[in-house]
Each structure stands twice: as structure tokens, then as C-alpha cells.
A and B are shown apart, each in its own frame.
Chain A
Amino acid sequence: MSIPNRLRVVGEKVAAVDGHAKVTGAATFTFDRSLPGMLHIKLLRSPHHHARIRAIDTSAAERMPGVRAVATARDLAGLTPIYGVRIKDQPVLAIEKVRYRGDVVAAVAATDEAAAFAALGRIAVDYEVLPAVMTIDDAMAPGAPLLFDKPSINALRPHGTGGEGIAEPGPNLLYQFNHDVGDIDAAWAQCAHVFEDTFEFSRMTPFQMEPFVALARPEGDAIELWTCSQDPFLIRQDVANIFGLSDHQVRVHASFVGGGYGGKSFCKLEPLVVLMARMTGRPVRLCLTFDENILLLSQHAARLTLKTGVAADGRFVCRDSRLYLDGGAYSDASALVTDKTGYRLPGPYRWTAVRTRAFSVRTTTVPAGSFRGFGGTQANYACESQIDMIARRMGQDPLEVRLKNLLKVGDPYLQADAPMDSDFAAGLRSAATRVGYERSRPPRRGVGLAIGFKDGGGEARAARAAVKITVTGRVVVQGGTAEIGQGASTALCQVAAEMLNVPFEWVKYGEIDTDVTPYDQGTHASSGMTVTGTAVARACEDVRGQILAFAAEKLSCDPGELHLENWTVRHGNTVHKLQPLAIEYFGGYGCEFVGRGFFKVNEDLSTPLNAKRLFWMPAWTGIEVEVDEETGQYEVLNFVCGTDAGRIINAAAARGQVEGGALQGLGQAMFERLIYGPDGLITTSPLTYRLPLAADLPKHFEGFLEEHGMGPGPFGSKGIGESSILGVAAALANAIEDAIGVRITDLPITPEKILTALDAKRRAA
């Protein structure tokens, strides 16, 4: 890519392209859409964790005023009604069984929400209640009740050397990922110390402010769909597959997405909305209540056991890990999350040998899937907690132990994958300095560090983009990355403005419509800047070439002699306005130049996940705490969290990503979680689900950005959106041990757990 010498727009402060609309209330979310004559859908959900459906009687509901259709599994006849990522097991409506409290059994479409809701109460379902499977232990117990009697649809992709994925390897096991590097049996002999520790990771709900919402309008066999999803093209594919339609019969619109954090990725209830539109022949809308949204998708709870061998000098030798993710009732993206959790567990360190066995377990709880960090948060929590524990047990400084073992820039990950493209040691030192790591502290104050580490860019992703320029030089960037709050629309416009040498205000980001927008695999894996961004940059190069060729033809010169700037071309000392040249060329009318760009990560079977990682996403976290040993209460005095943006395209948006993710991580570390009691979910509503407020901000909170300049995106940029959440929980646990000498190995870190640990320590002493 040819990069201008002096950047005018990239890295400069600009007004976000969505700013005016968002501060005036004019921004249109899918939530705000309505269609003339539309019906409203309400869902009947299972009251049981696990049950067989003997019979459903919808006749009374169908007679209720305003009701136009009641859908149950019988309406799925003739369809391919099962979806999921890599392993497909989730029915559009419960077929024969329900597998968690909240599983959708029936749906009513009526003239208004109240009529639909009233009709739900008239649907009679006869259940045969089956034993619940609420935890990983329940699911793995000998003779545990099975969620699925038959094998599910296996759509796994091949793994490369050193990696292996197995669908449904045992009872209640959805998926297994194996990862082997080197000869671990031989490696133990090089170890002076071997440490084995187990960590428990809690699960959060995404709590995106815009709940799940979708609208569909039928026209003959064709369907038009508006969804809050961040993956319009994937939804098109799923809907076409399920209903036996061709791709061009399904048109999906995306709008501003009111937050996601994973909860709006992949197929959710869109097929059910399409089903109701087809049954009624009317436009329909489904908008979940917030309580229902909690039942849609969660993060993966996890148990991770790490056995780590270390040489006498503190050098890491080998790690043998076994981890179990609670995948909930249905697959969703659990297979992919299992790959990624397992693969990232060794962290950005040098190892002689690694053996990882990662499992996703089926339980009768809310399905788990994508969540910011995509398994990296679980992996980093265990990895970075144990590194601190090992350092302290060996009487070494945790910072020094990390620095001794970190991969350097250019070192391949685990001998087979892409080289490090961030300076992890430099970033960690920066966090240590910012948090005052070396400062002496009074008793009961402590400081902890942790590294966040995940790959970004996804699995052999591909994206197309287009850039349209009118005869007045105004630009529309068309890409399939949804604006979900990450600032992609502004950043991609900055890239285009820079490359086409026009003012930023001349560029807009087009609304996503699968009929119009070039294909993109979805807003995933922090890849908007690198994957879609590269496609946009290439589209800019393409269109610039077309413009210079046209101008050269008009001016009878070579395109290489022309310089494009603010919709003029300079030829020697003469500046030619492009607008009159273009209008004349197009016969007095307007027209557009359209450039196209494509980017794909190539598959590579020599690496465990079948493609080299596009880039590495670091986070460097430092936390200082003060603990009250009488009450177990603690205060976070100082919280620093930073990442490497490669090259900052938009500093304000980047800062927002870092701080927002960091606070999400701190909430999880301190208190935020879905609580399951003996009888099921307790935190069923926004009132009972505690999440961070402004009052929870630490006294000092600093998000910082570094620019190591090695990213694969335009101008050396990287994705950063998932970075800052990754290391927070470990940093807090490490700080608490530094302060009071006890280790909490399960999240969240509550005062009760601290008091219990202190009591145990006193008894032992």
C-alpha cells in the first residue's frame, strides 16, 4: 500500500461521523424501526430447566383477539430448522425438548404486544420434567441426564498441525479442542518446579443497552429483514439455509447497533421472526424485554486447571492444561470459543512444550457464545494469575518473571504461528510505571500486573469493500462492518479521506444492506480496522487509479504525472478541478467512480487453527488496591490499562474502547456475574444484575495507548476492541495477594471470599 508521507486525517481529532445523530436522538437503531401494518411477536418460554414436551395446545391462544398466528415446532416442518456455529444444534423453536429455563417453546404474532402477551397465557404445554444439569460437574457426572439424544449437525472446519477439534466427544460434551506443541513428557524432566492450580471463571450477560430486536417483511417467497445483528451477511446465509431460499431472496439491513459485546453476533432469533412473517404474510417485529435478553446468550463460565513446569532460574518450560467451558444449552459459538480459549492459554511466553485439552460442556443453562475477549478473558485470567503465584512461590518478582519469559517482537507464537507484532515487554513496563509498581506501600496495600493476550482478525476471514466517489468528490465508503459503538464508521472514513486526499467531512459510511453492501463475514474478532479496513484501503487505491487514469486521458498525460488532492489533479504547476472534467466526461450528468477492495487471510494448515493469526492484541494492566482485613472490603486506588493500537487512527475512539473494556473487566473481577442458585438463575432482571456504574470508577483510572507500528491494517493499525478486558481479573487477584497474602482463584473477588481466605490463612498459621 502506498502511504502518504504526511497524514492529514489519520490520527487527527475529527468529529465522529455518527456524533451529531447520536447526541440529537436522530440515530436510527433497529429498535426504532417500524413497518406499516406490522404485527408484534411475544415468546412463550420454558418454565423448566429440562423437560420433554408431550403436547402443545395453541387453539385457545389462536382464538384470542388480535392474534394472527401461533408458531410451535409443528410449523418447522419442511424447513432445516437447526442453527449454530460449526456445530448446529439449536432449533428455531423447541423441538420435542426444552433444554433451559427460557428456551422458546412457542411464539405469538398479534396486532399489538399486549394482545400477543395475553395469548401466551392461553397456550397449554404438557411437559415431562427431566433432571436439570446446572453445572459442569452435573454434566460430567457418571450417568448424568443427556441434553441431546442424537448427534448434532457437524460443520467443523479442519484444524492444522498441532491442533485438533472433535465434535461431541462424550456425554454432554459439545466439543473438544486439543493443542500439542513439543514433547511434554520429556519436558517435565527439565523442570525444577511443577505447579498445578485451578481457577473458576464466572459468567456475565452482555447487557447491551439495545435488547435483541428484529423485523421482517415477506414478499412472496422473498424476505426483507432488519436486525440489530452485527453480522448481516451471516444472518442472510442462515435464513436462506433454514427456509430453503436462495441468497438473493433474503435481504438484510443493519442499522446502528445499540451495543453488543458479543451478544449480537451470529444467528439468534432472526429465523423465528422470518417464520412468523411467512406464516402471517405480514410484517412482524420481535423486541425482547430486558429479562428475556438475559436468557439469550451469556459469556462462558469456566474451570481451568494449569500444570506448569518451571526451570530453577524461573524460565518457563511446559504447561499441561485442562479446561472446561460451560457452553449452556446450545452450541451457538462455543466450539470456536473453546478453540480460542485453549489456544491462548499459554500466553505470549516462550514454552518448550504445551498440551492443552479444552472442552465445552452442555448444561441446562443460558446458551453461551461470543463475549468480548472470546475465551481470551478466561485464558488470561488463569494464565496471569498462575504466573504471579509461581513467581511468589519461587520468591521472585512477578514482573521480572514475566519479562524473562516474554516472546520478543518477531518471535513466532508457539513455534508455528505468526510472530509477535507488539513489544509486550515495553507495554508491561509502561503499565508498571504508570501504576507505581516499584513504589513502597503501607501494609494492606498491594499492586498487581497482568498481561492480556489474544489474537485478532478471526479465522481466515474475508471482506470486500467499495468506495464510491461522485463527480463532486464526495465519498461513500461501503463496508460490512457494523457500527456497534466501536467507531468503525469514523475510522474507516478517516482511512478513505486520507487515501483519497479529500477533507474528512466529504466522506460518509454507507448503511449496510446485503443487497448493496459488498460482502463481509461480520463484525468480529476486533477485525474492523484490519480486515474491512484493508479492503477499504484497497478500494481507495482502486478508485484513485480509475480517477487518475480518467484525468490523464482528459489531460493527455501519464497518470503517474498527476497528483490527486481535494478533488483536483495537479499536473506540474497546473491544478485542474476534477468536477468539470468529470461532468464533461459523463455528458453533462453526474456519475460515480467506484473502487473495489478485497482482503482475505489465507488458510494455512501448518498452524493449529488453520490460518496464521492476523495480529496479536495485547493488554497491559496494573491495579493497586487497599484491603480492609476486618471486613474484606477493598478499594481499587489505581487502575491502568493499555494496549498497542499499532497506529492510532482515532485516538478518542481508541481510548473509549480501552476504558470501556477495562471497566467491563473490573466489574467482572469485583462483582458482576450471572448468579445461579440451586433452583436456577437468580439475577434474572436488571434490578438484580449488578454492573458497573460511574460510582464504581477507581480513584485513578487511566487507559493508555501505544503505537508499535506493526499492525496489518491501514497505516500499521491493529484492532483493539477486545484487548482491555482480558487481563483485569488476574491483575486484581494479583494485587490482592500482594496486599494481604491470600489468593482468590474464583471470580468475582468478593469481600466474603477474602475474609474466608484470611480465616484459612490464620488457622494455618
Chain B
Amino acid sequence: MTETCAIALTINGREHRLSVAPSLTLADLLRDQLGLTGTKVSCDQSVCGACTVLIDGRPVAACTEFAFQADGRSITTIEGLAKTPAELHPIQAAFIEASAFQCGFCTSGMILLLKSLLDRNPDPDEATLREWVSCNICRCTGYEVILDAARLAAKAQRTAAAS
């Protein structure tokens, strides 16, 4: 039998103690073992960013991160963003407002990427925004609507923070 590693990590605010195979990727842990299928895997080579999750707030390609590397860390997936089904995160709300998705396969990764950006830089300039969004691939939209959603979300979050 294959050896396993014992890991402890926090996923969307909930602690998990798990025994995982050393070869298990974080994406497979999330999707296949924990049922968190909102994390999509597309290129599986950390090129496209569809599988982006946040590890301690930093965007990471879950397809090429081993599960054991997340030991002791805090993971945020798309399922962890909305407080309740009715209370979406401002970036999620902005994606709906700006129609910033088409097929939706890149959407989870894009939203988490932007969360990481806006958490560290609430008012990114255009160059920064484009550079960040260029980390991930969207084949459908032509990106303008995603940039629109990012600007909307940034503004909404700044307004909320000021009030």
C-alpha cells in the first residue's frame, strides 16, 4: 500500500485532518475527496489558472500543488467566498453585474485571482489589473468584461470599507 501523509489544513474556514497520498494534488483533494468541484482543472500544467485557489491569501494553481504542501495552511476555494447563498462576495456580485462570464469554466479561478489582488491592493491601476488578469486564461469573453467586473468590485469594496 502506498504511504500516506497526515496533514492538517483549513479549507474555507473549517479545519480538516486528512491522510493523503504523497502524489495527490491539491485540486484532486478538493474535487475528488472533498467534493469541492467549483475548483476547475483545465490545462493541468499551471498555465491557464482555472484551478486557482488561495493559500494563505496567495493565488496558487491547485493542479500542480501537492496536497501535502498545503499542510498547516489556510485554503480558500470558490465555495468559501459567499457568506450565504444570498450574500455573495462583492467580486462574485460584480461578475454577475458585469456579465463577466460565458461558459464559466475559468470563472472560479478568475474570481479568486482578483480577490487576492484586491485584498492586497484595493485600488489597482490599469497596468496592474491587466497584468494580474493575464495570469489566467479566459477563452470566451475577450477579458474586457472581466476587467469591468474587477473595477466594479474594487469600487464596491472601497465604498464599503469607507462607510
Q: Residues of A with Cβ closer than 8 Å to B?
A: 15-16, 18-29, 31-32, 34, 114, 207-211, 256-261, 289-290, 484-487, 652-653, 655-657, 659-664, 685-687, 691-695, 697, 701, 703
- B139 touches which one: A20, A34, A261, A652 (CB < 8 A)? A261
Chain B residue at smallest Cβ distance from A650:
B99
Instruction: Please tell me if the beta carbons of A660 and B104 are within 8 angstroms of each other in the complex.
Output: no
- B140 touches which one: A24, A259, A685 (CB < 8 A)? A259
Instruction: Return chain A residues, CB-CB under 8 Å to B37.
Output: 25, 28, 32
Instruction: Kindly provide the distance from the CB of B35 to the nearest chain A CB, expressed in whole angstroms.
Output: 10
Instruction: Please tell me if the beta carbons of B38 and A687 are within 8 angstroms of each other in the complex.
Output: no
Count residues on chain B whose CB falls below 8 Å from chain A CBs: 53
Chain A residue at smallest Cβ distance from B23:
A114
Instruction: Return chain B residues, CB-CB under 8 Å to A21.
Output: 104
- B137 touches which one: A209, A653, A657 (CB < 8 A)? A209
Q: Tell me if B68 is interfacial: C-beta within 8 Å of chain A.
A: no
- B48 touches which one: A19, A289, A686 (CB < 8 A)? A686
Q: A656-B99, A686-B48 in contact; A25/B142 too (CB < 8 A)?
A: no
A–B Cβ pairs within 8 angstroms, 17 of them = A23-B88, A24-B81, A24-B92, A208-B105, A209-B42, A209-B137, A209-B138, A485-B101, A486-B102, A653-B102, A656-B99, A656-B140, A656-B141, A685-B45, A686-B43, A693-B143, A694-B130
Q: A24-B92, A209-B42 in contact; A659/B142 too (CB < 8 A)?
A: yes
Apart from the given pairs A23-B88, A207-B139, A485-B103, 12 other A-B contacts in the complex at a CB distance below 8 Å: A21-B104, A25-B36, A28-B37, A208-B103, A208-B139, A209-B48, A257-B103, A258-B103, A259-B140, A686-B47, A693-B134, A697-B142
Chain A residue at smallest Cβ distance from B106:
A209
- A697 touches which one: B50, B78, B85, B130 (CB < 8 A)? B130
Instruction: Return chain B residues, CB-CB under 8 Å to A258.
Output: 40, 42, 103-105
Instruction: Kindly provide the distance from the CB of A178 to the nearest chain B CB, expressed in whole angstroms.
Output: 36
Chain B residue at smallest Cβ distance from A652:
B99
A236 CA / B134 CA spacing, docked (Å)? 39
Instruction: Return chain A residues, CB-CB under 8 Å to B108.
Output: 25
Instruction: Return chain B residues, CB-CB under 8 Å to A703.
Output: 142, 144
Interface residues of B in 114-145 (CB under 8 A from A): 130-131, 133-134, 137-145
Q: Residues of B with Cβ closer than 8 Å to A?
A: 23, 31-32, 36-45, 47-48, 50, 77-79, 81-82, 85, 88, 92-93, 95-96, 98-99, 101-108, 111, 130-131, 133-134, 137-147
Instruction: Please tell me if the beta carbons of A663 and B96 are within 8 angstroms of each other in the complex.
Output: no
Instruction: Please tell me if the beta carbons of B141 and A660 are within 8 angstroms of each other in the complex.
Output: yes
Instruction: Return chain A residues, CB-CB under 8 Å to B42.
Output: 209-211, 258, 290
Instruction: Return chain B residues, CB-CB under 8 Å to A662.
Output: 142
A701 CA / B40 CA spacing, docked (Å)? 29
- A209 touches which one: B39, B81, B92, B139 (CB < 8 A)? B139
Chain B residue at smallest Cβ distance from A22:
B104
Instruction: Return chain B residues, CB-CB under 8 Å to A693.
Output: 133-134, 137, 143
Chain A residue at smallest Cβ distance from B50:
A209
Instruction: Return chain B residues, CB-CB under 8 Å to A664.
Output: 139, 142
A37 CA / B138 CA spacing, docked (Å)? 33
Instruction: Kindly provide the distance from the CB of B155 to the nearest chain A CB, expressed in whole angstroms.
Output: 18
Instruction: Return chain A residues, CB-CB under 8 Å to B82.
Output: 24
Instruction: Kindly provide the distance from the CB of B61 to the nearest chain A CB, expressed in whole angstroms.
Output: 12
Instruction: Please tell me if the beta carbons of A697 and B47 are within 8 angstroms of each other in the complex.
Output: no
A659 CA / B92 CA spacing, docked (Å)? 21
Instruction: Please tell me if the beta carbons of A659 and B141 are within 8 angstroms of each other in the complex.
Output: yes
Instruction: Please tell me if the beta carbons of B103 and A259 are within 8 angstroms of each other in the complex.
Output: yes
Instruction: Kindly provide the distance from the CB of A666 to the nearest chain B CB, expressed in whole angstroms.
Output: 9
Instruction: Please tell me if the beta carbons of B142 and A26 are within 8 angstroms of each other in the complex.
Output: no
Instruction: Please tell me if the beta carbons of B140 and A660 are within 8 angstroms of each other in the complex.
Output: yes
Instruction: Please tell me if the beta carbons of A694 and B96 are within 8 angstroms of each other in the complex.
Output: no
Instruction: Return chain A residues, CB-CB under 8 Å to B138.
Output: 209
A685 CA / B78 CA spacing, docked (Å)? 27
Instruction: Please tell me if the beta carbons of A27 and B104 are within 8 angstroms of each other in the complex.
Output: yes
A485 CA / B42 CA spacing, docked (Å)? 16
A653 CA / B98 CA spacing, docked (Å)? 10
A661 CA / B4 CA spacing, docked (Å)? 47
Chain A residue at smallest Cβ distance from B102:
A485
Instruction: Return chain A residues, CB-CB under 8 Å to B48.
Output: 209, 686
Listed residue (A209, A258, A703) with the most chain B CB atoms within 10 angstroms of its CB: A209
Instruction: Please tell me if the beta carbons of B103 and A24 are within 8 angstroms of each other in the complex.
Output: no
Instruction: Kindly provide the distance from the CB of B116 to the nearest chain A CB, expressed in whole angstroms.
Output: 16
Instruction: Kindly provide the distance from the CB of A635 to the nearest chain B CB, expressed in whole angstroms.
Output: 15
A723 CA / B32 CA spacing, docked (Å)? 39
- A23 touches which one: B92, B139, B145 (CB < 8 A)? B92
Instruction: Return chain A residues, CB-CB under 8 Å to B137.
Output: 207, 209, 691, 693
Q: A25-B39, A210-B40, A290-B44 in contact; A691/B102 too (CB < 8 A)?
A: no
A207 CA / B140 CA spacing, docked (Å)? 10
A687 CA / B45 CA spacing, docked (Å)? 8
Instruction: Return chain A residues, CB-CB under 8 Å to B31.
Output: 32
Instruction: Please tell me if the beta carbons of B96 and A697 are within 8 angstroms of each other in the complex.
Output: no
Q: A484-B103, A697-B130 in contact; A24/B44 too (CB < 8 A)?
A: no
A694 CA / B106 CA spacing, docked (Å)? 14
Instruction: Please tell me if the beta carbons of A25 and B99 are within 8 angstroms of each other in the complex.
Output: no
A686 CA / B85 CA spacing, docked (Å)? 35
Chain A residue at smallest Cβ distance from B43:
A686
- B104 touches which one: A18, A211, A697 (CB < 8 A)? A18
A354 CA / B32 CA spacing, docked (Å)? 58
Instruction: Please tell me if the beta carbons of B38 and A26 are within 8 angstroms of each other in the complex.
Output: yes
Instruction: Return chain B residues, CB-CB under 8 Å to A656.
Output: 99, 102, 140-142, 145
Chain A residue at smallest Cβ distance from B132:
A694
Instruction: Return chain A residues, CB-CB under 8 Å to B32.
Output: 34
A703 CA / B144 CA spacing, docked (Å)? 10
Instruction: Kindly provide the distance from the CB of A550 to the nearest chain B CB, expressed in whole angstroms.
Output: 36
Instruction: Please tell me if the beta carbons of A290 and B43 are within 8 angstroms of each other in the complex.
Output: yes
